[in-house]
Amino acid sequence: MLYGLIYFSIAKTWSVISGISSSWDALYFSFVTITTLGYGDIQPAGFARVIATMEAVWGLLFGIALLGRFVAALPADRALDDSGT
């Protein structure tokens, strides 16, 4: 939500993000960016690209960390006994 607020402020103040006309558009763009979907219907320009890139990198890092936590929580494999089962 923080990035959505940033995008909305930037779009209203400097007009460097085409396609954002409401706060819902800004939240939508933030979700599309953090999940790295990138539909292309809203396009940042100038320094807004740097902010969008930072959000995409944070989204990837968060996804990797979440996957790591999930895998770490899985039970460890049991050692095979002599019968192979």
Tell me how far apart the alpha carbons of residues 17 and 72 are, in angstroms, rounded to a whole number: 40
Residue 61: pLDDT above 70? yes
pLDDT value, residue 48: 94
Residue-wise pLDDT tens digits, 1-23: 899 999 999 998 888 999 999 99
Q: Exposure pattern of 42-66 as b/e (b: 16+ CB <10 Å)? A: bebeeebeebbeebbeebeeeeeee
What is the pLDDT, as a whole number, of residue 82?
58
* pLDDT attached to residue 75: 84
Q: Which CATH architecture has domain 2-71?
A: Orthogonal Bundle (1.10)
pLDDT of residue 78: 62
